[in-house]
Amino acid sequence: LLHGGFRIMYAQKSPLLLLQTGGTIDKAYPRTKGGYAFEIDAPAAADLLDKVGLLAYEVRCETICRLDSQDIGATERAAIAKAILQAQEELILVTHGSDTMIDSAKAAAHALDEGGSSSKRVVFTGAMRPAKFVDSDAAFNVGGACAALSIVAPGVYVCMNGRVLPAAQCDRDDDGHFVPA
């Protein structure tokens, strides 16, 4: 259904693929005795979405990797792109660490352009504080990304700090905010 140029989805739950790559959103305190650093836990976005009573999506979750984004390289970006291209779902939410999120989003956009998957809508999001923290921005960013998926045109986007930006036009300023390039 189109309304004012926007595609509006009603009633039926839309299939959504949630891809976990790690990052701060999924960080948890270590479970090992004597542990002192964070570790990447189960997909936080899946847990956040499970708590939504009338979620408009039927969510399928897949883990690509469980890494800090500074450790995500070409191999992981290729795996993200492959999962997006092979997905049956047209709506895809990727949780990712903020440090290299833009790089991965741009790589996914390039793969979609080359792969001819013009109908897919992909939104990358994450958090500046782990979802397990009371003052985390995870729920806000995941909610914003889900809302964005229902109205953006096909393509790849980054949703952070209350902004939804096309991957190709996204940058970070000196304070760490995601801003238009």
pLDDT value at residue 26? 85
* pLDDT at residue 12 in the model: 82
pLDDT at 27: 87
The whole-number mean pLDDT for each consecutive block of 10 residues of the chain, a chain of 181 residues, reads: 54 90 86 67 85 88 94 96 96 96 97 86 95 92 96 97 96 95 93
107 near 80, Cβ under 8 Å?
A: yes
Report the C-alpha gap between 152 and 165 in whole angstroms.
Answer: 10
pLDDT confidence of residue 1: 46
Paired strand residues for 15: 58
| Strand boundaries in the chain, DSSP class E | 2-3, 6-7, 14-22, 27-28, 39-40, 57-67, 91-95, 121-125, 155-160, 163-166, 170-172, 178-180
